[in-house]
Amino acid sequence: MTKTIGTDQQHGRVRQAARRAVTGLRSSWPLVLLSALLVALALPAALLVAPGFLGPEAPAPAPSAPAWQQAPATLSARQGLAALDAAAEIPSQPAVTAQLDPLLKADGGGTFTGMVQDAWTGQVLFDRGGSEGRVPASNMKLLTAVAALRSLGPGHRFSTTVVAGPAPGQVVLVGGGDVLLGPGDSNPERALGHAGLATLAAATVEALTSDGASGELKVLVDDSLFSGPALNPAWDSGDVAAGEVAPLFPLALNSGRYDPAVTTGPRPQDSAIAAAEEFAARLRTAGAAAGLTVAAGVERSPAPARAAGGESEKPVVLAEVQSATVAEQVDVMLQDSDNYLAEALGRLTALADGLPGSNDGATAAVRAQLSAAGLATDAMKLVDVCGLAMGNQVPARQFSEVVRAITSGADTRLRAALDGFPVAGLTGTLDTRYGGGATAGGAGLVRAKTGTLNTVLALSGYVVDADGRLLVFSFIGNGLTPGAAGNKEALDRAATALAGCGCR
C-alpha cells in the first residue's frame, strides 16, 4: 500500500510540473514570436553589412586565355638573315656569269653593264663592261653620301640661327645649310622637321623680350652660304618643271617643297624667301602676346649676317635650331632619292673642304673625297651630285667599289650609309618592287640604291648569298626604251639571282 500511494504521489507531482510548464509557455509565447521576428529581420541586414567586415568577395577565376595570348615559356628561335660566314666559299666567276648573263637583257633598245664583287676580298665575280663610263642617274647619290660622311662626319648638324639685324628693329634669319626645316615645332624624332621654325620663332621672342624689345620687327634673310647658279645649267628644264629639283638655297622647308607629302609638281622657286616668310608668320604669332609686331614682307639682308656690326664684331645670336645629323640626312637622301637634299649636302661638303658652296665646288669635293678614300676617279665625269644630269659618266665598277667601301671598308664612318639603302619590296624607292614571281625571292634580301631617268636605269647595292657570302654589285642600263617594263624586271631578277646564289 505504501508503495502504491508513493507512486501515485510521484505521478501527481509530474502532472503538476507539466501544468506549470504549459502555463509558463503560454505566458511567454509573445516573447518567442518577437524573438523569431527579430531574427528574421536581422539576417538580411547581416548579409548587407557583412562585406564591410569580411572584405569583398573573391572574384571568380578568369577563363583560361588561348595559348597564343599567354606569355611564352621559352624564347622563340631567332629569325632573320644568318650571320656572315667567314669560311663560306666565294662564288665562282663562271657560275655567277652564267646566272646573270641571261637576265640582264634590255627590253627594246639599249644595253646593260654590270659588276659583281666579293665584298671582303674584292674579287670580281661578274664583269660586263664594268669599266665603261655610263650615265648612272641617282646612283650618283652613293658618291655624295660617301663624300659627306667623310668630310662632315656622321654626327654633324647644321644650325639655322636668328641674329640681330644691322638696324634697330631688324632680325636676320641665317641659313646654315638645313634644307629639311619644318614650319612647326622642332621634332627630334624625325629628320624632316627636326628643326622647326615655330620653335625658332618662340626662342627669338623670348630673347628679344628679355632684353626689353618692343614694337615692330622686320625680318631679313641671309642665304649667302651657297654661291654660283641656284639651278645647274646641266639639268633638263623639263625635269625642273616636273619638280624633280628646284633652285638651291642654304635653307628650305621640306627639302624645297610646299608639302613634304607631295613630291612632284611645282616647287618654291626661292626656298630662302619662302622659309623667311614662314618664319615671319610664326614670329608674328609668338610675339603677339609680348607686344611685338612683325612688318609685312621679308627682304634679303644687304650683307652677310656675319658682317653685321662691323668687321671685328660678331652679330648677337638671338636663337638657334639644329638639323638632324648628316647620317640621318644621308638616310633620307638615299631612301627617297632626294635630289634637292643631295645637292645641298654636296655644297656643304665643299664648304667643309674649303671650296665654294657651288655646284662646281660640290662636284670637286665629291671627287676629292672619293680619291682620298682610295677609290679610282679617273674615269668619272661629274656634272652634278644628285644624278639628274645626263652628262655624268661613272663606270659600274666605281659604284661596286663604293658599296664595298660602305659595307666592309676600313673607314667605319661610311657604315652610317647602310640604313639608307632601300630594302627590296619594303622601303624607299624599292618598296613597290620585288612582288612578282621572278623577283619575290629577293624581297627583304636585296638592298640597293635605284637610279631612274628617261633612258637610264641603275641598281647598285649588296646581298648576302645563299652560302653566307657578302656580295656587292652595280648594274647600269643606258639607251633604254623609255617605259619598257622589262628593264626594271631585268635589274631586279639579276639582284634576286645573286641573293639566292650558291654559285660554285
Residues marked active site are found at 138, 141, 337
Helix ranges (H only) for 221-265 are 237-241
Within 10 angstroms of residue 356's Cβ, the number of other Cβ atoms is: 16
Helix ranges (H only) for 353-475 are 359-372, 396-408
SS (H, E, C) 68-90: HHCCCCCCCCCCCCCCCCCCCCC
Q: Are 379 and 373 in contact (CB under 8 A)?
A: no
Grid cell digits, residue 5: 500511494
> How deeply is 271 buried, as exposed, middle or buried, from its count of CB atoms within 10 A (0-12, 13-18, 19+)?
buried
Q: Give SS3 for 3.
A: helix
Sequence-distant (6+) residues with CB within 8 A of 109 are: 479, 480, 481
Q: Give SS3 for 419.
A: helix
Helix ranges (H only) for 226-358 are 237-241, 271-288, 326-336, 339-352
E-assigned strand segments in 193-332: 215-222, 292-294, 299-300, 317-322
Q: Are 421 and 449 in contact (CB under 8 A)?
A: yes
160: Cα within 13 Å, side-chain hemisphere: 36
Report the chain's terminal Cα–Cα distance, integer Å: 137
Grid cell digits, residue 91: 662564288
Alpha-carbon separation of residue 407 from 146, 310, 312, 404, 420 (angstroms)? 11, 49, 47, 5, 12
Return d(Cα 66, Cα 81) in angstroms, integer: 31
Sequence-distant (6+) residues with CB within 8 A of 447 are: 418, 421, 422, 423, 424, 461, 462, 463
Instruction: Using alpha carbons, select from 341, 160, 180, 338 the residue that is nearest to residue 254.
Output: 180
Residue 355 CA, chain-centre distance (Å), reads: 30
Alpha-carbon separation of residue 431 from 13, 88, 168, 182, 421 (angstroms)? 113, 30, 53, 25, 11
Neighbouring-strand partners of residue 464: 470
Residue 2 CA, chain-centre distance (Å), reads: 123
Return d(Cα 104, Cα 496) in angstroms, integer: 12
Return d(Cα 373, Cα 398) in angstroms, integer: 12
